[in-house]
Structure 1
């Protein structure tokens, strides 16, 4: 199953709604950063919901797709903001 890292920068009027949406699909890592596994259907549904929510003239959302979490390495410097349920 593909592993995604999602980052966003949204206008203050929409940031809470974007945060709430991403928390339904992925694990919160730090401020505007999320990660986790999604099926193809879940990813398409998340993209659709994000596109309806953001203003593309003011906001940006970036998805990084990794083919599998096993082939990624996570290096953290400093104090993590979020809590991951699994180790990579």
Structure 2
């Protein structure tokens, strides 16, 4: 599956989120990483982030598979979009 990770975390945890994310994904710009992951790798990434971050932080994963798309959120969902363009 192809995963795009976008994070909005407190300043003191930005480096942690980036370090964990870079173990699994490629850093493409500030607060955005992406890459191909197996389901096991994706589960490991989420588990590491849950341990390092706080509930007030927000991490969104955009998961693309053949013919499907879904969004998962860790932490606080800042604002749910009403529609995608």
Q: Same fold (TM over 0.5)?
A: yes
What is the rounded CA distance, in whole Å, between the counterparts of 2:50 and 2:60 in structure 1?
12
Where in structure 1 are there 5+ consecutive unaligned residues?
A: 69-88
Aligned-CA RMSD value: 1.3
Q: Where does the alignment leave 5 or more consecutive residues of structure 2 unmatched?
A: 67-85
Task: Find the counterpart in structure 2 of residue 39 from structure 1.
Answer: 38
Q: Rg larger in 1 or in 2?
A: 1
- Deviating runs (4+, > 4 A) in structure 1? none
State the partner residue of 2:64: 66
Q: Could you say what secondary structure the match of 2:11 adopts?
A: coil
> More strand by proportion, 1 or 2?
2
Report what 1:24 is aligned to.
Answer: 23
Q: Which residue of 1 aligns with 2:73?
A: none
1:5 corresponds to: 4
Q: Which has the higher contact order (CA 8 A, sep 6+)?
A: 1
SS in structure 1 of the partner of residue 49 of structure 2: helix
